Amino acid sequence: MFSVSYDLHIHTCLSPCGDDMSTPANVVGTAALKGLDVIAITDHNSALNCPAAMRCGEAYGVIVIPGVELTTEEEVHVVCLFPTLDKALGFSEYAYAHLQPVKNNPAIFGHQQVVDEDDNILREIDNLLINATDIGFSDVPKAIAPFDGLMIPAHVDKDTTSLFSNLGFVPPDSTFTCFECKNMKNLHALRMQHEYLRDCRVITDSDAHYIDHINDPVNFLDVKEKSIAGVLDLLSHKF
């Protein structure tokens, strides 16, 4: 067993609400300086900054899991993590095709920049990435299955854009094995209130939109293998 420090919910400058300074190189570089073992890049409804982030991860010795923070049609945020870059990019394309086709206005919402590992801006994404997709919460498992994705309902204790703020309960057909808690002080009450959560894994992440907000290495996972597969394997099994 290996104990790895993690922060599995980090935005880059691709998210309109993400700081333009949060380039893949700056995010992964900050994680390396802090001594984080594993991070995930989870921009809203897109994985297009994962190629650069994963290259930086290799250069800086940080495991970078490619991901997407999906917005369901109920506006529930779900962190989706993938075993490979190709799978993440495949799902990213799928999610973008299911996103409301509304153009971004960078002056209001912020830029949506695809950046390479040297901070060069490659392009801007047209459609506003923080909008909802037409994928329902209960359809997420089916949507991510072809891409071998793992779904983690995000910040379930947040009072907006979360499973409990927007749906209010765990749908009975749910199959997720892990959820994200924003403040671990809420964990006990959540598990008391929602029986489904009692044998689920739980993680807590920064949800950083600025590099200053990335977590210090204070949260750990015990994995059999120090790799993307090792982390995903752990989180895809309940207790």
The binding site for Zn ion (CB under 5 A) comprises 69, 77, 154, 207
The nearest distance, CB 107 to Zn ion, in angstroms, is: 22
Rounded to a whole number of angstroms, the minimum distance from the CB of residue 78 to Zn ion is: 9
Report the nearest approach of Zn ion to the CB of residue 2 (Å).
26
Smaller CB separation from Zn ion, 75 or 233: 75
Q: Which lies closer to Zn ion via its Cβ, residue 19 or residue 207?
A: 207
The nearer residue to Zn ion, 40 or 197, going by C-beta atoms, is 40
User: Strand, coil or helix: what is 151?
Assistant: strand
Q: Which is nearer to Zn ion, 18 or 83 (CB)?
A: 18
Residue type, 35: G
Residue 121: CB atoms within 10 A of its CB come to 13
> How far is Cα 74 from Cα 16, in angstroms, rounded to an integer?
20
Closest CA to 89 of 24, 140, 41: 41
The answer to whether 96 and 46 are in contact (CB under 8 A) is yes
Residues 6+ apart with CB under 8 A from 191: 197, 198
Cα 71–Cα 32–Cα 161 angle in degrees, nearest 5: 15
Residue 207 CB, shortest distance to Zn ion, in Å, is 4
Helix, strand, or coil here: 194?
Answer: coil
What's the closest the beta carbon of residue 179 comes to Zn ion, in angstroms? 13
Return the number of the residue (43 or 230) whose C-beta is nearest Zn ion: 43
Tell me the residue number closest to Zn ion, measured at CB. Answer: 77
